């Protein structure tokens, strides 16, 4: 039946589906404002969605909002990788559910694609200020259960992870999304010290000064052009919590004297002292907190 519905209305139905999946609720005004349609048209869209998937939503008369039910099954297929990219760029329209225009541009093969329903539950928790209990497979502890207060989902260039306060270790940590097997909401509301504002590594921005590697590059002008450098210098600001990921992804030599050799090290971190008191730097190439 979806194939017989006009494209514009399918977009709006996909948006309703997307909001129910990732937010857990949707208001008629959300639809009206997003697509600039009248209230009557919005009402018809919700009526159509309820006809197609009657078990997916329930209306709360007090809040005047539709909520996801426990029996919810997405009406559209939401591709995990594309949806994560859209969420990361604040393009939460759900249009991928009905197919975007495809351009002849290829991306690297993706080996790490999280379960879309796991992602949806975590996003719901973040948007609604909820804590969650997750079944997680840890490299050091195997299968464990953790109570988390998530506040961000991040692409570190190699895989997706969720940044969250871990109630067991009482600290903010990164958890790989593909290692999460199940997510459930818990009643214990987040405390102020568990929320994003208290994540100092996340809130703190640090400057990185990158230059062409002084020993591994014969023609540094090529590197300057690759990274849009000015006077052989690229200055970027990054969250302290993300610094290690960026330095690893770009294979930045973090040694004091640019000591790493090999064609993969095309950049050198000129101001390595900026990394003082930054955690998660074990993956930064050549970084030694002692400065050796």
Terminal C-alpha separation, the chain: 66
Q: Does 292 map to a domain?
A: no
| Assigned domain for 100 exists | no
**For residue 183, what are its two tokens?**
């997510």
Has residue 281 been placed in a domain? Answer: no
Structural domain ending residue among the three candidates 76, 100, 125:
76
91 part of a folded domain = no
pLDDT tens digits, 95-130: 555 544 444 544 555 667 788 899 999 999 998 999
Q: Does one domain contain both 167 and 235?
A: no
Indicate whether 71 and 146 sit together in one domain.
no
What is the total count of domains within the chain?
Answer: 3
Q: Tell which of 201, 227, 249 closes a domain.
A: 201
**Which pLDDT value is given to residue 101?**
41
pLDDT, one tens digit per residue, over 272-289 is 988 988 877 888 999 886
Q: Based on the domain organization, do 169 and 226 belong to the same domain?
A: no
What is the overall mean pLDDT for the chain? 88
Same domain, yes or no: 176 and 215: no
In the structure encoding, which two tokens stand for residue 235, read together? Answer: 């200055």
CATH code for the domain in which residue 144 is found: 2.30.30
In a shared domain, residues 194 and 241:
no
The reported pLDDT for the residue numbered 102 is 42
Do residue 223 and residue 269 come from a single domain? yes
Evaluate if residue 215 carries a pLDDT over 80: yes
CATH number, residue 52? 1.10.10.10
Q: Is residue 240 part of a domain?
A: yes
Report field, pTM of the whole predicted structure over 0.75: yes
**3-state helix/strand/coil string of the chain:** CHHHCCHHHHHHHHHHHHHHHHCCEECHHHHHHHHCCCHHHHHHHHHHHHHHCCCCEEEECCCCEEEECCCCCCCCCCCHHHHHHHHHCCCCCCHHHCCCCCCCCCCCCCCCCCCHHHHHHHHHHHHHCCEEEEEEEECCCEEEEEEEEEEEEEECCCCEEEEEEECCCCEEEEEEHHHEEEEEEECCCCCHHHCHHHCHHHHCEEEEEEEECCCCCCCHHHHHHHHCCECCEEEEEEEHHHHHHHHHHCCEECCCCCCCCCCCCCEEECCHHHHCCCCCCCCCCCCCCCCC
- pLDDT, tens digit, 9 for 90 and up, residues 60-85: 999 999 999 999 999 988 877 777 77
Domain of residue 153: give its range: 116-201
pLDDT surpassing 90 at residue 166: yes
Say if 239 falls within a structural domain. yes
Q: Could you say which of 47, 76, 105 is where a domain stops? A: 76
Asked if residue 39 belongs to a domain, the reply is yes
Residues 212 and 159 in one domain: no
Q: Which two structure tokens, joined as six digits, stand for 226?
A: 């690759």
Establish if 122 belongs to a structural domain: yes
Average pLDDT over residues 214-228: 94
Same domain (yes/no): 217, 194? no
């Amino acid at each position: 039946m979806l194939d017989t519905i006009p494209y514009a209305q399918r977009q709006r139905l996909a948006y309703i589906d997307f909001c129910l999946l990732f937010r857990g609720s949707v208001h008629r005004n959300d639809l009206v404002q997003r697509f600039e349609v009248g209230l009557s048209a919005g009402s018809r869209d919700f009526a159509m969605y309820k006809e197609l998937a009657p078990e997916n939503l329930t209306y709360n008369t007090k809040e005047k909002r539709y909520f996801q039910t426990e029996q919810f099954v997405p009406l559209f297929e939401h591709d995990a990788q594309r949806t994560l990219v859209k969420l990361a760029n604040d393009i939460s329209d759900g249009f991928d559910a009905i197919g975007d225009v495809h351009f002849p541009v290829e991306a690297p093969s993706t080996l790490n694609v999280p379960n879309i329903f796991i992602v949806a539950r975590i996003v719901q928790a973040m948007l609604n200020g909820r804590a969650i209990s997750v079944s997680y497979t840890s490299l050091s502890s195997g299968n464990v259960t953790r109570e988390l207060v998530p506040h961000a989902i991040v692409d570190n260039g190699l895989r997706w992870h969720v940044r969250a306060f871990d109630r067991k270790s009482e600290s903010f940590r990164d958890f790989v999304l593909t290692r999460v097997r199940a997510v459930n909401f818990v009643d214990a509301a987040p405390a102020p010290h568990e929320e994003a504002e208290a994540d100092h590594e996340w809130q703190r921005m640090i400057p990185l000064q990158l230059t062409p590697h002084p020993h591994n590059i014969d023609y540094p002008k090529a590197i300057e052009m690759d990274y849009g450098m000015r006077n052989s210098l690229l200055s970027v600001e990054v969250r302290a919590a993300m610094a290690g990921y960026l330095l690893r992804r770009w294979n930045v030599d973090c040694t004091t004297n640019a000591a790493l050799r090999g064609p993969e090290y095309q950049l050198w971190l000129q101001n390595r002292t900026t990394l003082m008191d930054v955690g998660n730097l074990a993956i930064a190439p050549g970084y030694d907190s002692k400065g050796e």
